[in-house]
Amino acid sequence: MNKPVFSENVVVLTGASAGIGKELAMQLARQGACLSLAARHADRLEEVGEQCRQLGAKAITVPTDVADKKQCEQLIERTVQEYGRIDTLVNNAGITMWALFEDIEDLSLLENIMQVNFFGSVYCTYYALPYIKKNKGRIVGVASLTGKTGVPTRSGYAASKHAMAGFFDSLRIELSGSGVSVTMVFPGFVATDIRERAIDGKGNPLEKSPLPEEEMMPVEKCANIIVEAMENRKREVVMTTRGKIGVWLKLIAPALVDKIARRAIEKG
Q: Which residues are catalytic?
A: 157
- On whether the CB atoms of residues 142 and 187 are closer than 8 A, the answer is yes
Residue 13: which region, alpha, beta or left (left: phi > 0; alpha: psi -120 to 50)? beta
Give CA separation, 14 vs 65, 70, 256, 266, in Å.
9, 15, 35, 32
Integer Cα distance of 38 and 58 in angstroms? 14
What angle, rounded to 10 degrees, do the helices at 219-231 and 19-30 form? 60
Integer Cα distance of 210 and 38 in angstroms? 28
